[in-house]
Structure 1
Amino acid sequence: MLDRMSEKRTIGAAERRARLAVRHRLAAGARAGSAAEVGDALVALHGTDPASVFLAVGARLGDGVKPVGEVERALYEDRTLVRMHGMRHTLFAFPASLVPAVHASTTHPAAVRERTTLLAHLAAGSDFDGAWLAETERLVLAELAVRGEATGAELGDAVPRLRSTYVYGPGTRQEGVQSVASRVLRVLGMEGRIVRGRPQGTWTSSRFRWAPAEPHPEREPADARAELLRNWLAACGPATEADLKWWTGWKVTDVRGALAVLGASAVALDGGGTGFVLPDDLDPVPDPEPWAALLPALDPTPMGWQARDWYLDPEHRPALYDRSGNIGPTVWWNGRIVGGWAQHPDGRIVHRLLSDPGTEARHAIDAEAARLAAWVGDVRVTPRFRTPLERELGSA
């Protein structure tokens, strides 16, 4: 419908939830056939907790697709998903096609700051200078070119410089000894020169090997921002300017510039706010069939918007988020968060509803819990950022 006062198309909360169901591949009829499809649909999968990528993809795959093997193939063989730092200095898994845009729009500026900071820390707390750092990086890259991939420890054995340390914050309360290796590898990763490869251990492990990164074309930052925002609005529109600034971590002027390049359309939201969608995305979206989902901690759907009242009861926030704003595992019914879940020490998937969604919903949620338990199997999954409800359920 059109708002008679502003002539803006109104997209209310119910339609936003319908868009989310289909575009985030959560409704049963919208589920994906591959990890690459999920990555393309969601734009960015939170990768700070390695298990989140697998759980987020698994929640959205159709029957018959094995999540662990599918995600591992996408990350480590086909390289259709690439782990790298992106928005808000956070680690994500991105579709390979978006890597140039993410790097130019978001990662490169952060990498410049990261290198500047490292050089300043080395100058203050060691005898190492820029030439020493450049030679160390050259040796690391040469070693990876020969090996193909290696752990940080293996690289330290081959390049002893990496085992060096420096004093962080000399003369301050934060003074301490830090390893050169972790900082050098982080900078090289943020600059797109190396990439995280297959981990040691299971798919929940965060001890990654490193490998040479595939080269990608350089992009103009403004064009890159427009491309990234175009993909994100296709998945998550409508979104407010505040949502966009929060999700990207950009300056508000950069957000507005990208919206202008895209010719984004302003729409009215419930409560009188203004959101933005792509100019060809104004057609009404019908409700999908009823659906349930169990999404992991840091899943990109609940972490997609700064303003969340249209899918989350504010009274449920304290149970589902930690003090830093990281969301824990959530239970969904028809586009709303209705509870949380955890894995019990004995392996069972247990959940608690924070509101009563009805009998149909309870049966569907139980079925999703059983589906999740079937593919997780004997692996134990504990979120890196634990929330009150997850802690309670996981120890009950």
Structure 2
Amino acid sequence: MTGSKVRKPVSLSHLNAWRMRRQFLDRPFGSKNLVELIKSIGWIYSPGCSTPYLSLWARMTPFRAEDLNRLVFDDHKLLQLETLRGCTMLVPRDQANIALRIRTRTFTELSKQARQQMPITDAEMEKLKGAILKSLHSGPKTSEQLHHVVPSNLVRDFGTELKRIGLTNSLSLAINLLKEEGKVLKQQSKRRLDTMDYSFVLTANILPEADPLNFRLEEACAQLADQYFRAEAPARVKDFAWWAGINVTDAIRGAGEIKPKLTPVSVEGTVDEFLISESEVDDFFAVEPQEFVINFIPYRDTYLKGQREIVNRFISSEHADKPFSRWKGKVINDPLATIILSGRVVGVWEWSEDDDDIDLLLFDSVPKAAERAIHKRASELANFIRSNLGEVRLQGVDYGPHQMTGIHDLKAFWGKGAQADSRV
């Protein structure tokens, strides 16, 4: 990393204006190439809900859901992979090895730690994994279908202690181990990214060139750093480490390999070092914040999930507890579907099935011109949903009654404290 000529610290509004521009939220992406768009803005979260469709709609005009479905399910130019911090994301095919190498191996580590308590030996687990792979040679199968074709004596339920740490039975563990080894992928059974019905398929049938375990971790971190800072800069190394789920040492090494080199810029109100490619510094300082730039983004959109701190950066501390879901009344650092005005979160939105329309809540009054622009954009989004999706699944896994995501239910908790990451 190198230094730059002395410049005044930039304001948060300047930083966010640049981020809106880099994320193509202030104007549409310049081509119809979805793969290139994702390379430009970063991998997109795909947690079994409408997020991929809505994230791309916010950045491309026109956009059709079927165009994305074709790239994922027919052409395999975009792959849905379990990767950073165990999250499922849409990844360009030529970056799949990075995604598979960098993914967390939670079940591999848990199975090692709990080996003595498991009612299945290592040799039996290898036989079970082999039976799964053999079965998948004939085509994709659900976990229920695999349960019927693998040797029944190898499918064993686990006890309470193992279930408490996420290990439920031998078949589920074997599938997860194969995924972490890069041998098996999961994919939606119904050719839609907003469903939770999954099948399992051999990686070799979808991605024969994949060889993640022979890919050096250092090289994977370096290539991932290049992708991250191209999409997210200016950003901090600790933002990259958090986003990627790697330690800060590996993050520093990865960032140090980027060419052209990263250089720091100063941001008002913090001594943290924000890094950007030295080739982009002049463009960054030249950007002019625009008035009333409006967009609607979905749950887990990369705009709010690419950098760790949201409060005081993208939303004022006054409204710090509003754009987040809750668990048993406590704030979860997982942004809801939000309304962005000139880089800041000013409200939340959801789809009303009863009204077949967008339902939105603004945190404060906004200028009339901005309010008109918000409702115009909401109307455009509603038209897209009706014509492309039919309905919207804004969250992925349903965690039951303790999880609160409905904006009108959450409103009752507003003002009762925030526990999300803050910029200090």
3-state DSSP class of the match of 1:350? strand
Which of 228, 240, 254 is equivalent to 1:244? Answer: 240
In the TM superposition, what whole-angstrom CA distance separates every residue of 1:329-372 from its partner, at most 9, and x where no partner exists? 10011211110001123132111111333223222222222222
1:135 aligns with 2:147: no
Partner of 1:330: 338
Whether the aligned pair in 1 keeps the contact of 2:108 and 2:180 (CA below 8 Å) is no
In the TM superposition, what whole-angstrom CA distance separates every residue of 1:292-348 from its partner, at most 9, and x where no partner exists? 211111111111111232322222221111323111110011211110001123132
Moved more, 307-316 or 160-169: 160-169
* Counterpart residue type for residue 11 of structure 2: G
Higher helix proportion (structure 1 or 2): 1
3-state DSSP class of the match of 2:135? helix
Q: TM-score, normalised by structure 2?
A: 0.81
1:52 aligns with 2:51: yes
1:125 aligns with 2:118: yes
* Counterpart residue type for residue 359 of structure 1: K
3-state DSSP class of the match of 2:158? strand
TM-superposed deviation, 1:169: 4.4
1:389 aligns with 2:407: yes
TM-superposed deviation, 1:382: 4.2
Counterparts in 2 of 1:173 and 1:255: CA distance versus 1, 3 Å: closer
1:153 aligns with 2:144: yes
3-state DSSP class of the match of 2:210? coil
Counterparts in 2 of 1:315 and 1:191: CA distance versus 1, 3 Å: farther
Q: State the distance in 2 between where 1:376 and 1:186 align.
A: 34
Which of 304, 310, 314 is equivalent to 2:313? Answer: 310
Moved more, 381-390 or 45-54: 381-390
* Structural RMSD (CA): 2.8
Q: State the distance in 2 between where 1:266 and 1:186 align.
A: 40
What pairs with 1:1-396 in structure 2 (closer than 5 Å)?
7=6, 10-30=9-29, 33-63=32-62, 65-66=63-64, 68-104=65-101, 106-107=102-103, 110-111=104-105, 113-121=106-114, 123-126=116-119, 128-147=120-139, 149-161=140-152, 164-170=155-161, 174=164, 178-200=168-190, 203-213=193-203, 214=207, 215-217=209-211, 218-262=214-258, 263-273=261-271, 274-285=273-284, 286-287=287-288, 290-308=292-310, 309-322=312-325, 323-346=331-354, 347-377=356-386, 378-384=390-396, 386-387=404-405, 389=407, 391=409
Quick one: percent identity of the two aligned structures? 16
Q: State the distance in 1 between where 2:191 and 2:72 align.
A: 15
* Counterpart residue type for residue 265 of structure 1: T
Question: Structure 2: which 5+ runs fail to align?
Answer: 326-330, 397-402, 412-424
TM-superposed deviation, 1:13: 2.1
Q: State the distance in 1 between where 2:154 and 2:378 align.
A: 45
* Counterpart residue type for residue 373 of structure 2: A
Q: State the distance in 2 between where 1:162 and 1:372 align.
A: 52
* Counterpart residue type for residue 125 of structure 2: L
Counterparts in 2 of 1:275 and 1:201: CA distance versus 1, 3 Å: closer
Q: State the distance in 2 between where 1:342 and 1:76 align.
A: 27
Question: Structure 1: which 5+ runs fail to align?
Answer: none
Whether the aligned pair in 2 keeps the contact of 1:100 and 1:216 (CA below 8 Å) is yes
TM-superposed deviation, 1:265: 1.1
Q: State the distance in 2 between where 1:177 and 1:102 align.
A: 24
Whether the aligned pair in 1 keeps the contact of 2:124 and 2:154 (CA below 8 Å) is no
Q: State the distance in 2 between where 1:33 and 1:103 align.
A: 27
TM-superposed deviation, 1:76: 1.2
